[in-house]
Amino acid sequence: MNHKRLLEPLAHRGLLYSNRIVFSPLTRARATSDGVPGQLQAEYYLQRASAGLLISEAIAIRPDGRGGAWTPGIYNEAQIDGWRQTTDAVHAAGGRIFAQLWHAGRLSHSSFHPERLPPAAPAAIAASGRVVLESGAAPYETPRRLTIDEIEQYIAHYEQAARNAMEAGFDGVEIHGAHGYLLDSFLRDAINNRDDAFGGSVENRARFLVSVIGRVTDCVGAHRVAVRLSPNTTAGDMTDSDPEATFGYVIECMNALDVAWIDVIEGNNMVTRDVPGGLDTDILTRAFSGGIILNHGFTFDMADEALAAERADMIAFGRDFIANPDLVERCRKGLPLATSDRSVWYGGGGEGLIDFPPHPASSEAAQSSVSG
């Protein structure tokens, strides 16, 4: 199949993207213990800079926002300087990169908090599962219920993180509102049992997310903002009693704020694309006035079909990009995709991160290196 639609350039809200392929955010857990990225990350993103848009791995907005060991942050100067190595490398290669702003919420751990406070959440309800610490995996803790004053502080931290991202040279930011993390846990009613201004009605449950979007768009410009949503993902024990109403309201607010992009996870993330009885995400994307990125389990053929049907403007590829730094060129030339072993996805050094070779027939075979 000719994948020319995927390879077409796109001009959107004043920014030019060289093709319709997005490098999806992927947690790789290769930062330092203090969440500082460096040359390893710069090399990793440079190798994949031929994507029309790269969205970084989840980057914590504050120390207690980290969702596991060796995940990066963007809340101090060392981290800003570290990320600048990545953005400089990507831009030198002609690429464009957004920073994904993240707070893991109740899927974090007290050891990441400077004062060893329990993780942040709408309610003191522990998640099932385990968090990865440097000492090994540990059960999720019972979180603390954020006060309204604390929520306002967290909103300000999202704004500062967006400023830091621009200082680090990113072209824009994606607000992580998915996968059971902090903003998602307030939005959906699975655990948000609050009866104040941040709980109860759809408008109240969405207030945290919408406030963050508003502050960030004011800070960096709406044309540089994307929002990730995952209406059918059950990570962090998330569900919602009326997802169409909940997410439909969020879309209305995003339209009012003139947000440039929505990054929608189709299906249940890392589980299945098919969710019987789940929300048809086309309902949301049809209502959204900005650009649409569809994400989760796409093949090149599926991606072209979605673009041809005008269901999306760009398509994100995640796990296929791990073993295929030259994925764009493989798409262009119809080359087979390599596979990777899940055991190398998280943690460690360069092995399983920057040592996947391009296809011999790919023009990327002579791609440059940060170090060379």
129 conformational bin, left if phi > 0, alpha if psi -120 to 50, beta if neither: left
Instruction: Give which of 275, 336, 300, 238 is closest to 7, Cα–Cα.
Output: 300
Q: Catalytic residue at 181?
A: yes
Catalytic residue of the set 158, 181, 249, 346: 181
Provide CB contacts within 8 A for 200, sequence distance 6+. Answer: 194
The number of angstroms, rounded, from the C-alpha of 224 to the middle of its chain's C-alpha atoms is 14
Tokens of 215: 């502050």
DSSP string covering 95-144, please? --EEEEEE--GGGS-GGGSTT-PPPEESSS-PPSSEEEETTEEEEPPPPE
Instruction: Give which of 166, 228, 198, 191 is closest to 22, Cα–Cα.
Output: 228
DSSP string covering 169-231, please? T-SEEEEE--TTSHHHHHHSTTT----STTSSSHHHHTHHHHHHHHHHHHHH-GGGEEEEE-T
Instruction: List, by residue number, the catalytic residues.
Output: 181
